[in-house]
């Protein structure tokens, strides 16, 4: 050990050397992975997930006013907090029959640059968290009428869960043509 007398710079260098020799290293900085949030829902027997950013709100089935000369899958217009919102049957829009209106069905409110509307689905399961490594471009083995609106899948313990792209749907001419 060095004597405590002498040059202050020498004393400080000695203290630094002893501190570094007995110091415990800092923990490694772990990479923080943010989960991808998706809203899981069902149309018919098909379970899907929509990225949370594409669904603005979930509603119970509202009171609806029919729209004359609209396609059958256009349920009508609902007054949601003073705003008129067109309500569409997602399953009917995809040519797969009708959503059964019951206590389980919900309306997914979408609002992007192209359209603001409500999509009626059979059931909403809630939020699901997925990690980036669970996302894949592989598509599940489901009906072609739905596959065209998928942007990929999430792989989990139950297999592949299709990622339903609201933007793909709203860019579709079939979705935008609501008049008979």
In a domain, 155, yes or no: yes
CATH number of the domain within which 98 lies: 2.40.50.180
What Rg do the C-alpha atoms of the chain give, in angstroms? 28
Range among 4-18, 22-36, 146-160 rated most confident: 146-160
In a domain, 90, yes or no: yes
Contact 41, 47 (CB under 8 A): yes
Is residue 19 classed as helix, strand or coil in its secondary structure?
A: helix
User: In the block, which residue shows the tokens 């609002």?
Assistant: 111
Report the distance separating Cα 106 and Cα 118, nearest Å: 9
In a domain, 8, yes or no: no
pLDDT score at 131: 92
Q: Which domain does 90 fall in, by range? A: 36-176
In a domain, 97, yes or no: yes
pLDDT at residue 128 is higher than 60: yes
In a domain, 126, yes or no: yes
pLDDT score at 160: 92
DSSP 102-152: STT-EEEEEE-SS-EEEEEESEEEEEEEE-GGGEESPPPS--HHHHTTEEE
Domain count, the chain: 1
Report the distance separating Cα 133 and Cα 131, nearest Å: 5
Report the distance separating Cα 69 and Cα 14, nearest Å: 89
pLDDT score at 3: 52
In tens, the pLDDT along 52-87 reads 999 999 999 999 999 999 999 999 999 999 999 999
pLDDT at residue 33 is higher than 60: yes
Alpha carbon dihedral 97, 101, 104, 109, in 10-degree steps, equals 80
In a domain, 2, yes or no: no
Query: Does the pTM exceed 0.85?
Result: no
If you count DSSP H runs as helices and E runs as strands, how many of each does the chain have, helices first?
5, 11
Contact 108, 41 (CB under 8 A): yes
């Amino acid at each position: 050990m060095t004597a405590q007398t002498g040059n202050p710079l020498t004393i400080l260098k000695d203290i630094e050397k002893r501190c570094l020799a007995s110091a415990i290293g800092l923990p490694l900085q772990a990479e923080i992975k943010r989960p991808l949030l998706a809203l899981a829902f069902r149309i018919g027997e098909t379970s899907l997930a929509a990225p949370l950013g594409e669904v603005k709100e979930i509603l119970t089935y509202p009171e609806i006013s029919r729209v004359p000369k609209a396609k059958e899958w256009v349920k009508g217009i609902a007054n949601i907090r003073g705003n008129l919102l067109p309500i569409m049957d997602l399953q009917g829009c995809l040519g797969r029959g009708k959503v059964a209106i019951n206590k389980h069905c919900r309306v997914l409110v979408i609002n992007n640059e192209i359209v603001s509307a409500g999509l009626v689905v059979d059931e909403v399961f809630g939020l699901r968290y997925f990690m980036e490594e669970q996302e894949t471009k592989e598509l599940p083995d489901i009906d072609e009428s739905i596959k065209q609106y998928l942007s990929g899948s999430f792989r989990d313990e139950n297999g592949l869960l299709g990622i339903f792209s609201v933007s793909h749907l709203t860019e579709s001419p079939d979705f935008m043509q609501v008049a008979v």
